[in-house]
Structures are given as C-alpha cells and as structure tokens.
Chains A and B, each alone.
Chain A
Amino acid sequence: MKSNKIFISGDEAVAQGVRLSRPHVVAAYPITPQTITVERLAEMAESGEMEGEYMHVESEHSAISATMGASSVGARTFTASSSQGLLYMAEGLHYCSGGRWPVVMMNANRSVALPWSIYGDQRDSLSLLDCGWIQVYVEDAQEALDMIIQAYKIAEHKDVLTPMMVNLDGFILTHTYELVDIPEQEMVDKFLPAFQTPNKMSFEEPKNLGFSSKPDDNTEFKYQQNEAMFNSIQVLKDVDQEFADTFGRKYDGMVEEYRCEDAEVVLVALGSVCGTIRVVVDKMRAEGKKVGLLKIRYMRPFPEAEVKDLAKRVNAIGVVDKDISFGYEGTVYTNVNSAISKIDKYVYKSNFVGGLGGRDITKDEIEEMFNKLFSGVENKSEEKVEFFSLNVESND
C-alpha cells in the first residue's frame, strides 16, 4: 500500500480527515486548543483543497445551528469545539441528536471554567454524555484522522443517523506533532460514499422537520433514538473492520485491551493517558506483575459487554478519571462500575480522579495505582474513590 506520511499535529490531522471526507459545509468557532483545526480548514477552503463551504459563524451556538441547518437539506457537515464552546453548544447538541442529523464534530478536551484553564481534562464532553451523541476518544493523531472518516460512515448509517463527537485530549494530542499517514482521496471516496438521507427537506418531497410532539408520542421518539445508539455498536465494529480492510489500520471497535489476557488487575482509561499506561504496563509486566489496560474508545454507546467480560477475568479494576461529577465520583467510573455490578462476582474497584486542568499524570502515579489495586485485592478492601497526587489534605 502506498503511504504518505507527514509530520503534523492532532489538530491538523483532524483537518486532513475532514478534507478527505468531503464535507459540504464546515462551520466552527475558534477556541484553544481546537483553533488550528479551524485555521487549517479555512486555508484548505481558500486554496480549493477542500471543496465545501466554509462558514464564518459568530459563535458556537451558531456553529451547531448552522451545521444542523445544512444537514437538514442533506449536506455533510463538520464542526469543532472545546470546553466553554462545547457547553455553549449544549442546547444544539441535544437538538441535533433529536433531529437525527449525523453531524460530525471534533472536540478538543479542555477543562471548563472556573478557574479558567486552557489545558486538558475531560469534564467538557463527559458532562455532556447524555446529549445523545456518539462519543469516541482517541489516543493519537493518526487515530484522530481515521476516526473522523469513520465517524461520517457510522453517523450517516441509515440505522444510526446520530451525530458523532470525536474527542482529542487538549494539547497532549491537539498540539503534539506526530508522523501521520494521510490516506489517498480515491480510497477514502471508495470507503465513504456521498451522504444520502431520507431525513431532509427536499422539493421533490417537502417535509416539516424539527417538530413538537405530545406526551403521547415523545417517549417513542426517544426510544428510537436510544435504539439507534445501540444499533451503532454493530455498525461501528463493521466500519472499523472495513476501514482495516481498506487502509490497513484497525482500532478494535468499542474498546482496546492491552495485555489483559491473563491480567489480575487492570486500569481503565480514555484518550492519551492510555499511552502512558501502556508504558507502565510493559515495565510492570517485565517485573512479572500481571497488569493490563482497558482503553475505552466509546463512552456512548457504552461498552458494557466488553467491561463485563473483562471484569469476569480479573481481580481488580481501577478507573482513571480526568473529570469529576461533583458530589459523587468520576463519570467514567460511574459507568464502568454500573456494568461491573451486573456480573455475579466480587471485583475490587477503585476510582482515581486527577489530571484536572492539564496536570500531567506520571508513570509513577500510574504504577502506584496498579499497586493500590493489588493491595486492595489482598486486603479485600471496600471500593474507593480518591483524588490522586493531591496537594491539599483530603477528608479521609
């Protein structure tokens, strides 16, 4: 296979993925650390490299509204945001999934104010887990590019018709340069044909969209939306396989297991921290410790089957959360724990909350987490939620 590797940042990789997907309309509003994506797309529109229309919207609310408008006439659309911008879109995010418009968005994961912070954690997208979007988290720039292309195919599938958010850790992925393989346009065109949908206004068959519904049928619409989300589980696996057949890269669908075959304790995480965890897993494995990593790729739909399957095989599961649902625990943990509770077996569980507002999660900290999991199993401890590497005294 011919390869065309260039040295680009995660943001630029996203822009390349968007260009290759041939969107009709791009509408996005700049916000650090997503900005480079928007700038690159503008340059591509200027040079004619990207054929779609580039809209200079005046806000994120308008960005999501404009993409919905364009999608409602059958156009393929892209938007991008982060943090405050994503939250400013929140009304539109629910609207978009309810309208069943397969908009694709890149979100650069960034902490949300206050305190103001431009650095990365995942509280922005995880706090919007219930807005009806498919959410995928990537680990590097190549995966970011590939997932943009896959996202269109998944979101636009007739059994899915659900918008999709591709999440990249701010700075760690958006601004780090890597060698990225840029697929050939011809092959992308073959993999991703033009967007076709019955869910649009047209002059051949006029429609009224975005309607109201009475209590008599609202639940049925929401049921269908939920079914579509479940339908996407098979679709995203098929799309990943087809992607592998075409481009030679595979991402394993909902989750990726790393050295979990005979693992006794595993850490569960999303996004770029998985890279650090892999290194620690290798080190500890070399020391004879049976540790592993479960990288959750999709938070919605949630990989319940995969988490349950793993829980049956291990003694302890720790969840690394770069977010917190104030007054409770990390959001990823809530989801993982809920899946584990459905199997009939004792597994020691622990939630490690940290890395907020861009603080590094170090290899030493990860090793300590693994060790805590081992001792939790040994002492048959209660499940635990803790902030790690904290500079202030915690309550306990």
Chain B
Amino acid sequence: MTNLVDIPKVNAKNMTEKEFFYGHKACAGCGGSIAVRLALKVLGERTYTALPAGCMSAVGFIYPQMAFNTNAIITTFPGSASMASGIAVGAKALGQKDVKTVVFAGDGGTADIGFQALSGMIDRNDDVLYICYDNEAYMNTGIQKSGLTPYGTKTTTTPAGDNIPGTITHKKNLFEIIAAHDIAYAATASIGYPQDFLNKVNKAKHIKGATFIHVYASCPTGWGTPTETSVEIAKDAVDCGLIFLAEFEDGEYKLNRNPKQFAPVQDYLKKQGRFKHMSDADMQCVIDNRDKKWSRMRKHWL
C-alpha cells in the first residue's frame, strides 16, 4: 500500500489555479459544485470524472456547453460506480498509467439507487475514488427525501404537517456501511472545512484501489438558506456535532475532530427553512440521536 506519510501536501498555495469545472449552471452558493471544484484541483488533469443523474451532472453537461475541462461522463443513475469501474478497468486494459477515475454522486445516487453498484465496486477494489456530495435530499428532481435526509427535514415527499413532522427516519449510517466493506480508505468531510477535505482527496488520490469520501455539501435551494452562508452552514453542521469528520484506514476508525463542546444544534437547525417547523421535542430527538452516535464513536474510534 502507498505510504501515506510521503504524499506531498496540498493547500491553497500550491494548488493549481486552473479550473476544471467552469461555467456550470449550479445555483449560487451550491455546496456540491464547491466540492467538485476543490476535488478536481487536487486530482488534476489525468482524471476521468463520472457523474450520475443529479445536480452536478445536470448543471455540467448541457450540450453544447460542457463545464468540465477534463474528461467527464454522465452515467446511468444507478450505475455511477459500475460505469466508473468500467472506465478504470478499461484504462488499465489499454495500458494507461497514472490515471484516476473519480465519481461525484449525490446522497440519493449513493445511499439509495446506486448503492448496489458502489458495493460491487468496493468489493472488486477497482481503482476509483467515489465522492458522495451529501446535500441531504434528491435536489435535482425538486427536493425529495433520500436515505441520507435527516430526521425532521421537510422535503416535497416528506411534508411537515400536523400528523407527520417531516422526515421520520434518521440518516443512513453510510460511512460505516462503506467501512464495513474493509475498504482501504474512507473518510467524511465537509465543504465547511476545505483543507481537511483537500487532504482527504489527496490521500485517496494516491491509493490504488477503491476509496470513498462522504462530503457534506450545502444546498441553499433545498435547505432554504442564504447563498452566501453555504460554507458557514456546512461548518456549523460539524461544530454542532451533526456531521463528524473521520477516517477509516487500515481497518481502523479515526475521529479527526473531537470537540469538547458542541455548538447548539438548535442554532444550526433554525437557520434553515427545511427545519423551521420543528418542535422542541423533534429537536431534542435530533440531539439525543447525535449524543448516542458520539458516545459510540468516542468509545470505539478513539
């Protein structure tokens, strides 16, 4: 395996100024497009990018305006991982060296419809970095619930009313499900902590085989937040403990941040239109779930 200590670091100073994702039609303040842009700066020109149906493909490839300056392809919605596998294996069979294949898929394309293919890709250990940008709903089809939509969220398929308080399931435990495949490297990240995200992409870039990054990526349109607060809100999510920064490497979990005290969850929720309707009891349910999760992580991952 690659010795991860020797990998040259990336930061704002030594990163390329070239844009590989330029002129796309994403909404102002789109967190997903920030994730794609940053990751491609780390991955560079010898990258094949595969994206399933979802916002990032919808805003990137509207013929004849193509937003990717490097090779990129829209995959079938359920087949992003398998198509990327095919690209990586095809490149290998053709003798191409120093290439990387990356997937950028939404939470729905990853945790729901595309999950089977993703599991197969990791099982085969194909040379693909799979990045799930998590905006916590199906945004491209108009804000419907996905398996990663958190408890209490109002979406167009989980409307909040007198009888049901929006989404009543908790986020699927994606990171650990991926880790359970014994993948060489998996991580969580947030566009609110860009340097951490860049480091993780950089690490994954240098590993031959399947790797996975789950990056929290705000969506002003779906969340009901001001466009200029996208990065801030993605940071808030980490600071209040609803999103955690962690890695899974060599069979071990690692918590990258373990705050002594969390920022108030209520402040994070109240800033967003999608949670406006939540009662104190619903917020308490979110907090209890967070605390349970953290006590488990602290017990086993530290």
Contacts and interface: CB of A to CB of B under 8 A. Distances in A.
Interface in B84-132: 84-94, 96, 99, 116-117, 119-120, 123-124
Contacts of B63: 211-214, 217
B93 A75 contact: yes
B117 A58 contact: yes
B97 to A, nearest CB: 11
Interface in A20-55: 24-25, 27, 52-53, 55
Chain A binding surface, main DSSP class: mixed
Interface residues of B, number: 45
Interface string B43-69: 001101010000001101111001111
A201 B48 contact: yes
A211 B73 CA distance: 7
A55 B74 CA distance: 21
A69 B58 contact: no
A70 interface: yes
Contacts of B75: 65, 68-69, 210
Contacts of B89: 25, 53, 55, 66, 69-70
B93 A25 contact: yes
Interface in B1-37: none
Interface in B201-217: none
A240 B59 CA distance: 44
B124 to A, nearest CB: 6
Contact of A62 (B46, B79, B93, B99): B79
Contacts of A325: none
Interface residues of A, number: 42
Interface string A193-228: 000000001110011111111100100000000000
A167 interface: no
A65 B79 contact: yes
A92 B90 contact: no
Nearest to A99: B73
Contact of A61 (B61, B67, B74, B79): B79
Contacts of B116: 58-59, 61-62
Given A58-B119, A214-B63, A65 B86 contact: yes
A71 interface: yes
B78 interface: yes
A61 B82 contact: yes
Interface in A301-340: none
A92 to B, nearest CB: 6
Contacts of A53: 89-90, 92-93
| A-B CB proximity, top 5 nearest | A69-B86, A65-B79, A70-B90, A58-B120, A62-B82
9 contacts: A53-B93, A58-B119, A65-B76, A69-B82, A72-B83, A206-B70, A211-B61, A211-B62, A214-B62
